Structure 1
């Protein structure tokens, strides 16, 4: 079976069709490549750098990386709905609050354990452009910070401690599960040098401090987190978490099971009138989609790597046109997206969502009963959250399935990477001086 765009990508993932795209009846195991298939066997002896060099020979990938580099070089604006950034949407606490001391201690311990050369490689200025260099494929584009699989065990444990101290318990487990699923994919394909549970880059921005803004970044295959501490607020955005397979054995439960269950409960509750507004396309590969709406790598999601300045018009149904129970379901889905944050930080961020619920849109692609692949987007002035079923890359399904999922989270209008709150903090400092 040949692919027609690239060795890993076929036109089936982008081609509009008037037919319903059905979910596979069997699980992901049916779509695991034979280990002798060239799509996996050709890379068996390669490490991640050799794999990257090989993949960059593909014209499709060279074009993609050139496009990404152009986006990377643009001045940061933030995702907007109409090209104009709204100000004043994000606020710091009215009085100074110290940043998370456990995260500071963990990051400081990591920095102290590194050699001077590794410390230099790990650390960046708070406003460094490298924040925006993250990506989620298994090949490498920007090399930022230190590669976790190349760290000694004791130093990896110190990075892990930073994650544990910064994230909620649930958030930490979700991130580590996504990393473990990447390792599981490496086992399935027997490509552990390309995909494993440490196939990630980690960097620190600014100096870990109770009073000064600082942050850290983790990114690699199917996991990308950008975490900022500023004036007592914590921002985790952009976030990209995915998995292939997202559904696996008992020790690897469905990573977005709760989120998908809530989403399907919501979509199944739509009245006919609501469904007519909420369902933008009846299929994730609807032939009515405009040209370029589906990207061979991103498919339907619009807020992935290097999309910091994308203009994303609202679509779907306003939350105010839903009943109270439906609005509660939307809020619970949003809470699940925010669940990487520690509880008190989650509530602060959720309060910003609540302030703009009358400007919140919910859009849905696909059947609302769970019988087909789907795409969900929740978007307001302060959130853009997506859940998208994808075709296979390392599995052979040529159309989207629930066992390959991408999920993104953004803070539109300039607060990705905590930038809006950092600017607010800097204004406060000037006012105090």
Structure 2
């Protein structure tokens, strides 16, 4: 649904690692036992590269009672998932196929590369060309075309990082750093989940009849922009333009009221591993105090994330968020410049939670983008995440 995005007013974990420009405030310890499937015979990443994880995951009791407005194209997704699984041999399917009740694996997603936080599922590099096409067909069925393109652009950024060389560069790549996993039996009536992600990308798509959850969702890019094949690639342009455009449209008094004063942030607060369901206290400027044009910019920013679903489900979800707009707040901390280090922007509503931050790169000289989108009432298709 992002292709229908209305462009208004010209806008369309703290751990430092040598192997990556990513850091995160969501974890402060490193534990070899943090892998989400240590008990399984094919743990995260399907036995792929990696060792100890800086991300600690505490299993929570996910249910399937999330408050989705419906509209999911579940039958089409089921068909695509079944077709993908049918291409796998026994050993590959053992890596890719999980029980829906395997909550701890379902929670294993991160901004870090898979060499650092091993992922559940099977790596794209372990699939044949035809099998990768079948995997990509799953995402094409589930997501808006612009979101599918974004997946490719984020993965291309990993190839760019790999081309730079240096320590840790061999851990990046558009195939070996990205994994797909299926949880539960794909069904038009019973819950199942498709998980896809890797470095700077997490898609967690949970279906239950006509209900669907696309959160937690992480999109980021290192670098923010780069050249590939003679073309400038900006994987998170829609999100960054919308978020910074929303803040730039504030009057001075509004901007002062929108400042988040509870602390300063060097990364996301509700990123990987933050699945307790407890969100920070609401701060910032109530959207009810904005004029009509400014409210449109808030909706444009939300749509840059929530619009990643297939059309009907995405439109129904946006209707829900719009109905809650006057109970939503926007805020910023640290800086507000698109190229400034640690510029932090937040949208916080009864359901929607979006964070965006410019964080320091280690592999490239400039900032790069981290962002997370969560639905407080529907993460993992659950209304009670803990």
The yes-or-no answer on 1:269 pairing with 2:243 is no
Which residue number corresponds to residue 361 of structure 1?
Answer: 329
Assess if the C-alpha contact under 8 Å between 1:91 and 1:421 holds in 2. Answer: no
Assess if the C-alpha contact under 8 Å between 2:60 and 2:275 holds in 1. Answer: no
The yes-or-no answer on 1:161 pairing with 2:124 is no
The yes-or-no answer on 1:410 pairing with 2:385 is no
The answer for unaligned runs of 5 or more in structure 1 is 15-47, 57-61, 79-87, 282-288, 423-433
The yes-or-no answer on 1:238 pairing with 2:216 is yes
> SS where residue 302 of structure 2 aligns?
helix
The yes-or-no answer on 1:131 pairing with 2:103 is no
Provide the aligned length of Structure 1 versus Structure 2.
Answer: 342
Q: CA deviation at 1:154?
A: 1.9
Q: CA deviation at 1:211?
A: 2.4
Q: CA deviation at 1:334?
A: 0.3
Assess if the C-alpha contact under 8 Å between 2:68 and 2:213 holds in 1. Answer: no
CA offsets, 1:192-229, max 9 Å, x none?
64111111121001112222222200121111110122
Write 1 or 2 for the structure with the bigger share of helix: 1
Which residue number corresponds to residue 91 of structure 2?
Answer: 117
Q: CA deviation at 1:280?
A: 2.4
- Relative to structure 1, is the Cα distance of residues 215 and 369 closer, same or farther in structure 2, using a 3 angstrom cutoff? closer
- Relative to structure 1, is the Cα distance of residues 220 and 8 closer, same or farther in structure 2, using a 3 angstrom cutoff? closer
Q: CA deviation at 1:420?
A: 3.2
1:8 and 1:159 mapped to 2: Cα distance?
28
Matches for 1:255-266 after TM superposition, within 5 Å: 255-266=235-246
The answer for unaligned runs of 5 or more in structure 2 is 1-14, 26-45
1:218 and 1:104 mapped to 2: Cα distance?
15
CA offsets, 1:250-306, max 9 Å, x none?
53422222333333332222222211111226xxxxxxx64xx54xxxx33112111
> SS where residue 197 of structure 1 aligns?
coil
Which residue number corresponds to residue 3 of structure 2?
Answer: none
Assess if the C-alpha contact under 8 Å between 2:24 and 2:268 holds in 1. Answer: no
Instruction: Kindly name which structure, 1 or 2, has the bigger radius of gyration based on alpha carbons.
Output: 1
Assess if the C-alpha contact under 8 Å between 2:124 and 2:179 holds in 1. Answer: yes
Q: CA deviation at 1:365?
A: 2.1
Which residue number corresponds to residue 20 of structure 1?
Answer: none
The yes-or-no answer on 1:229 pairing with 2:207 is yes
Q: CA deviation at 1:323?
A: 1.0
Q: CA deviation at 1:405?
A: 0.4
Matches for 1:21-420 after TM superposition, within 5 Å: 52-53=50-51, 56=52, 64-65=54-55, 68-69=56-57, 72-76=58-62, 90-93=67-70, 99-129=73-103, 130-138=105-113, 139-189=115-165, 193-198=170-175, 199-249=177-227, 250-280=230-260, 290=263, 294=265, 299-309=266-276, 310-368=278-336, 370=338, 372-373=340-341, 374-397=343-366, 401=367, 404-413=368-377, 415-420=378-383
Which residue number corresponds to residue 427 of structure 1?
Answer: none
1:360 and 1:192 mapped to 2: Cα distance?
41
TM-score after normalising by structure 1: 0.71
> SS where residue 50 of structure 2 aligns?
helix
- Relative to structure 1, is the Cα distance of residues 375 and 154 closer, same or farther in structure 2, using a 3 angstrom cutoff? same
1:265 and 1:305 mapped to 2: Cα distance?
26
